[in-house]
Amino acid sequence: MAHGLSRCLPPGSLRIVVNVGDDFRRYGLRICPDSDTVLYTLAGRVDPVNGWGVAGDTTTVLDALTGLGDDTWFRLTDRDLATHMYRTQRMADGATLTQATAELARAMGVDIDILPVTDAPVPTRVITSDYGELDFQEYFVRHRWQPEVKFIRYVGAEDARVTTAVAEAIDWATCIVFAPSNPWLSIGPILAVGDIRERLLGRDVPRVAVTPVIGGKAVKGPAAKLMAEQGLAVSARSVAGFYGALLTDFVDDVRNPEFTCDGMNIIQRDTLMLEPADRERFAGEVLGYIGERIR
């Protein structure tokens, strides 16, 4: 959805806050999957088949590591590795994650602020029935999100602080949109950081979330599986309940049954975004709705 918003909004009017709970180290490198996916998407470099990584990239280093006997369960292609190497070196030189991310964006021709929610490490840990506690990427990639989840921890998030750039973005915003990402694995780690909930609740602007659930299924990833494991109905209503008072408005999909939720306006639109044109069309519809609300 970030791509669609970037196509609909004038320069300088969009700031994107990204999750850092997925971040981890591999081969000594600081890897930030959520930040990089947004970065590659806005730069027009993302692999359209996978939805992550660099399109048309080579695997020379990965193949060499495999040949050395390494368990290359986390796929890192060559130009993607250059991103991680640059970030790691800049942070070793004293740059913050926010600064390194901004430098990468400029180098790739992206003039939109991509803002890590915090510069502190706040890893997401997944407690499973079969394997105990797993790092997020072990759960999501190595085990292909198949283990049963008992609990999710956002380690260190409560004591972390949102960056100055994120605090300013919230203060500056005329509206706040939560993309249709996984509530527990992508949005939850953001909302767990410091006082960000209070900051969001303190803004008297439209705060809008989009359902990631259509027809009782997640559009992608383990959201539906996680909901079932928590004893929740796999529905847009459960997603709206996750956000609760944080929202003024909720965008449900036209294919879902209508429902009401105290304290928020609920509208239905075609939220399915399979192609770039769909993202731009839907982002325009959401912005049009917000514009009517503000008037």
Looking at the fold, whether 55 and 129 belong to one and the same domain comes out as no
- From first to last of the 295 residues of the chain, give the pLDDT tens digit: 999 999 999 999 999 999 999 999 999 999 999 999 999 999 999 998 888 899 999 999 999 999 999 999 999 999 999 999 999 999 999 999 999 999 999 999 999 999 999 999 999 999 999 999 999 999 999 999 999 999 999 999 999 999 999 999 999 999 999 999 999 999 999 999 999 999 999 999 999 999 999 999 999 999 999 999 999 999 999 999 999 999 999 999 999 999 999 999 999 999 999 998 999 999 999 999 999 988 7
Say if 261 falls within a structural domain. Answer: yes
Domain check: are 47 and 145 in the same one?
A: no
pLDDT tens digits, 72-107: 999 999 999 999 999 999 999 999 999 999 999 999
User: Which tokens sit at 96?
Assistant: 């913050």
Q: Which of 208, 292, 275, 290 is nearest to 4 (CA)?
A: 275
Q: Where are the beta strands (DSSP E) in 222-279?
A: 249-253, 265-269
Domain count along the chain: 3
| 73 and 128, same domain (yes or no) | no
Residue located via tokens 């709705």: 289
Domain that residue 171 falls in: 164-294
State the CATH number of the domain containing residue 30.
Answer: 1.10.8.240
Q: Are 251 and 220 in contact (CB under 8 A)?
A: no
At residue 161, the pLDDT reads: 98
Does 49 fall in a domain?
A: yes
Q: Is residue 40 part of a domain?
A: yes
Q: How far, CA to CA in Å, does 274 sit from each of 49, 51, 150, 161, 193?
A: 11, 11, 31, 35, 31
Predicted local distance difference test score (pLDDT) of residue 22: 97
Res 184: pLDDT: 98
Decide if 115 is inside a domain.
Answer: no
Q: Write down the pLDDT at residue 65.
A: 98
This prediction's pTM: 0.96
> Could you tell me if residue 149 is inside a domain?
yes
Residue 114 resides in a domain: no
